Amino acid sequence: MTHPLFSDHPLPAFGAIEATQIEPALRELLDANRAEIAALLDVGADGWETLVVPIERMHHRLARAWSPVGHLNGVMNSEPLRAAYNACLPLLTAYHTELGQNERLCAAYQRVADREGADLGAEQRKVVENALRDFRLAGVSLPPERKQRFGEVMERLATAQAKFDENVLDATHAFSRHVTDEREIEGLPANALQRARDAAAAAGQDGWLLSLDAPTYQAVLSHAVSEPLRREFYEAWVTRASDRGPHAGQWDNGPLMAEILALRHEAANLVGFANFAEYSLATKMARDPAEVIEFLHELARVSRPAAQREFAELERFAGRPLASWDVGFYSERLRKERLQVSEEALRPYFPLPRVLAGLFTVVHRLYDVRIVANTAVETYHPDVRFFDVLDHDGTPRGGFFLDLYARPKKRGGAWMDECVGRLRLAGASALPIAYLVCNFSPPAGERPSLLTHYEVLTLFHEFGHGLHHLLTRVEVPSVAGINGVPWDAVELPSQFMENFAWRDEVLPLVSAHVESGEALPHDMLARLQASRTFQAGMQTARQLEFALFDFRLHAEYRPDRPPRIAETLAEVREAVAVLRPPEFNRFPHSFQHVFSGGYAAGYYSYKWAEVLSADAFGAFEEHGVFDAATARRFLSSILERGGSRDAMEAFVEFRGRKPEIGPLLRQMGLAA
C-alpha cells in the first residue's frame, strides 16, 4: 500500500492528500480490513492476542487515515474535498454498522470475555466490555431485515448531519455587510475594524466589509453602538440555515432537523430503547433520563432567581426593556461600569505568544512535561504550527498541530481532535497527536493576535482536552486518551483547565502588555476575577435552556406527529429563560452540537462535567494550584487513564469521594 492515506508515518502527509484519491483509497482500506477480519474469524481467532489486538491495530490504521481528511474538511473546506468527504461518509458508516452487526465477531469477543476475562488487565477487560456493549447497540442480535434497516438509518443519518453542517457553513459565509459611513460602526474594537478594512480592500471595495464569523459577530453584538446594526447581525446569525432572515429558505435546515430526529428515534427503537435519549445514555455516566432531567432542574432552581435579578438589573441600567440584540451590548457596558473591566481593554495584556508560553509553563509545572515548537513538521496552512510534547528526560510523549486563527472556509468555534491515537501493541507503537483549533482574530501586520480573557479560557479549555489525549498511558487505542470516555465526563479535563486561567498564580504567567511588557496589574486582575460571577445566573440559564431543549426534544419524540422543535424550545424558555427572543429566532437551525455533532441528547454533559471539574479543582484550591502531589494524582487517576476505566471510579480515586455540586455553585457565586 503506497497511498499517502495508508502511510504509517507518524504524521499525516497533508500535501500529498488529493481529493480525487480519497474515496478509492478509503474503499481499499475498508476492504482490506474486511478481508482481514474474515480471515481472523475463519481461523477461529478468539483470544486477546489473536483477535482483539489485530482488530485494534486495523482500526487504529483506519482512524489515522481518515483523521486528516475529516480535519481538512473542517478547516480547509473546498468543493473537491467536500465531495470526497461526503462520498466517504456512507462507506464508513456502512462499515461500522456491518462490523457492529457481525454475529460471528460478537461471538468471538464473547469467547474472549468468557475464557480470558479473569486474566485480562483492567484496561483490556474494558476494551472487551465496550465492544460487547457496542455490538448490542448496533443491533447484532436483530433479525436480518431490522438489521438492514438499522444500517440504512445510520447511513442516512450521517449524510443528513453532514448536510446540516454544510448548510450552516454556507449560510454563514453568504452574509456580509458593507459599511462606508463611519458612524454605523461606532464602538467596534480596533482589531475587528482592521479585519473589516482588510476584507473590504481584498474585495476591491472602500470602507469596511463585516462578515458573520464568530469574532466579528461577537464584536458587533457587544460593542456596536448602532442598534440597527446589532439587530441586523443578530437576525443574520440566529436565522442562519433557516426559513427566516436575509437568506430565508436558501439553506433551510428545517426539513433535515425533522428527518434527523425521526431517524435517531427509529434507530433507538430498533435496538430496544424507548427513545434516543435512552439510547444516548447507554454509553454515558448519567444512569437514566430522569437523573438528567432532575439534575438540570436542580440547577435551574438554584440559578433562576439570580438570572431574573441580573436581567432586571440590566434593564434598569439600560433604562428600557431590552431586546435580544441589546443584551450583549448593555452587559458589556454594565460590566465596564461595575467592574471597571472590559474584554477589549484586556486584549493588549494577552498577546497570543505570551499566553501560549504561560500555558506551557503551567503544564510543565503541573505535569513535568515540556512543550517545544517543531518547525520541521509539514502543516496544511502557513498559520498552523506543530509542537512536540516531551517528558522530563526529553522522551517524546506526543505532539499537536495548533491552528488558532479564523479564516474563510474554516468551521467556527474551537475544538480538539485526535490526529493519531496512542498505541503500543504487539511490537507496534504510535504516539498521540492532536489537532487544537480555535478561531481567534489573526495578527494584524506586525502585531500579534491579542486575546480577550474569554479567548484565553477557550485556549486553556481546548488544551485540557489536548492533555487528556496527549498524556494518556493507555496502550490500546479504543480506550486511550479521550476514546471510550463517556461524553458527560469528557469535558472534565477541559473545564478543569479553565480554572487555572482565573488564578493569581497563573494570570501573571499568561499576561504581558503588548507594548510595555507589563503583566496584568493587580487591580485589573482583581476586577477580572470579580467578573467571573458577573451574570452567572443568566449564563447558567442559557446553558440550561440548550441542555433541556436538546434532552427533551429526544426524550419526548413521538413518531406519530411532527417533532415539536419550536414548541419544546418555547416550553423550555418559559421554564428557565429570562429573555424571550423575537419570533424570527431560529437558533435550533444552526445548533450544530445537537443536530450534527456528538451532543445529541448529551448537551447536558457540559453542566454535568462542570460539576466534576469544579469539584476536582477544589482539591487544588485546598492544597495549592501547583501542588505536586495533587497534580500527580490528577494525572494518574484521570488524565493518563483515558477511557480505560469507569469515569465515576476514576473520579472517586482522585477525590476520595463522589462528586458534589457545591463547588460549582460556589465558583459561579450561586451558592446560598
Catalytic residues: 462
As to burial, measured by CB atoms within 10 angstroms (0-12 exposed, 13-18 middle, 19+ buried), residue 259 is middle
Report the residue number, 254 or 412, with the smaller CB distance to Zn ion.
412
Report the residue number, 230 or 453, with the smaller CB distance to Zn ion.
453
Kindly state the smallest distance separating residue 609's Cβ from Zn ion, in Å: 8
DSSP state at residue 351? B
Applying the rule CB under 5 A, the residues between 297 and 356 that interact with Zn ion are none
Applying the rule CB under 5 A, the residues between 602 and 631 that interact with Zn ion are none
Kindly state the smallest distance separating residue 126's Cβ from Zn ion, in Å: 23
* One residue of 167, 331, 478, 494 binding Zn ion per CB under 5 A: 494
Report the residue number, 150 or 460, with the smaller CB distance to Zn ion.
460
Number of H helices, E strands in the chain: 26, 9
- Grid coordinates of 240: 442562519
Kindly state the smallest distance separating residue 210's Cβ from Zn ion, in Å: 28
Dist CA 401 CA 438 (whole Å): 11
Stretch that binds Zn ion, among 250-258, 381-389, 493-501, 572-580 (CB under 5 A): 493-501
- Grid coordinates of 639: 488524565
Helix or strand or coil: residue 367? helix
Q: How many alpha carbons fall within 13 Å on the CB side of residue 58?
A: 21
Dist CA 46 CA 109 (whole Å): 7
Kindly state the smallest distance separating residue 280's Cβ from Zn ion, in Å: 18
Query: Looking up cell 437514566, which residue turns up?
Result: 288
Applying the rule CB under 5 A, the residues between 78 and 97 that interact with Zn ion are none
- Grid coordinates of 60: 487504529
Kindly state the smallest distance separating residue 389's Cβ from Zn ion, in Å: 19
Dist CA 177 CA 181 (whole Å): 12
Report the residue number, 325 or 606, with the smaller CB distance to Zn ion.
606
Report the residue number, 88 or 467, with the smaller CB distance to Zn ion.
467
Q: Spell out, one character per residue from 473 to 492, where the chain touches Zn ion: x when CB under 5 A holds, - when not.
A: ------------------x-
Please enumerate in sequence order all residues whose Cβ is within 8 A of that of 389, keeping only pairs 6 or more positions apart, or say none.
Answer: 369, 370, 371, 396, 397, 398, 399, 400, 470, 471
Dist CA 302 CA 43 (whole Å): 60
Report the residue number, 388 or 417, with the smaller CB distance to Zn ion.
417
What secondary structure does DSSP assign to 468-513, as a single string? HHHS----SGGGSTTTT--TTTTTHHHHHHHGGGGSTTTHHHH---
Report the residue number, 166 or 417, with the smaller CB distance to Zn ion.
417
Report the residue number, 11 or 601, with the smaller CB distance to Zn ion.
601
Q: Which secondary structure element, helix H or strand E, spans residue 214, and what is its range?
A: helix 214-223
Q: Which residue is nearest to Zn ion (CB)?
A: 494
Q: Spell out, one character per residue from 378 to 397, where the chain touches Zn ion: x when CB under 5 A holds, - when not.
A: --------------------
Q: What angle do CA 44, 49, 51 make, to 5 degrees?
A: 40
Kindly state the smallest distance separating residue 506's Cβ from Zn ion, in Å: 19
Among 597, 603, 497, CA closest to 546? 603
Asked whether position 499 contacts Zn ion by CB under 5 A, the answer is: no
Among 411, 464, 465, CA closest to 438? 411
Applying the rule CB under 5 A, the residues between 21 and 50 that interact with Zn ion are none
Q: How many residues bind Zn ion (CB under 5 A)?
A: 2
Among 672, 662, 670, 669, CA closest to 617? 662
* Sign of CA pseudo-dihedral 502, 503, 504, 505: negative
Report the residue number, 325 or 496, with the smaller CB distance to Zn ion.
496
Kindly state the smallest distance separating residue 107's Cβ from Zn ion, in Å: 37
- Grid coordinates of 605: 454533559
Cβ atoms of 210 and 220 closer than 8 Å: yes
Kindly state the smallest distance separating residue 458's Cβ from Zn ion, in Å: 9
Cβ atoms of 452 and 344 closer than 8 Å: yes
Dist CA 371 CA 387 (whole Å): 6
Kindly state the smallest distance separating residue 627's Cβ from Zn ion, in Å: 25
Dist CA 388 CA 364 (whole Å): 13
Cβ atoms of 151 and 94 closer than 8 Å: yes
Asked whether position 275 contacts Zn ion by CB under 5 A, the answer is: no
Cβ atoms of 405 and 440 closer than 8 Å: yes
Report the residue number, 472 or 494, with the smaller CB distance to Zn ion.
494
Kindly state the smallest distance separating residue 550's Cβ from Zn ion, in Å: 16
Binding site for Zn ion (CB under 5 A): 491, 494
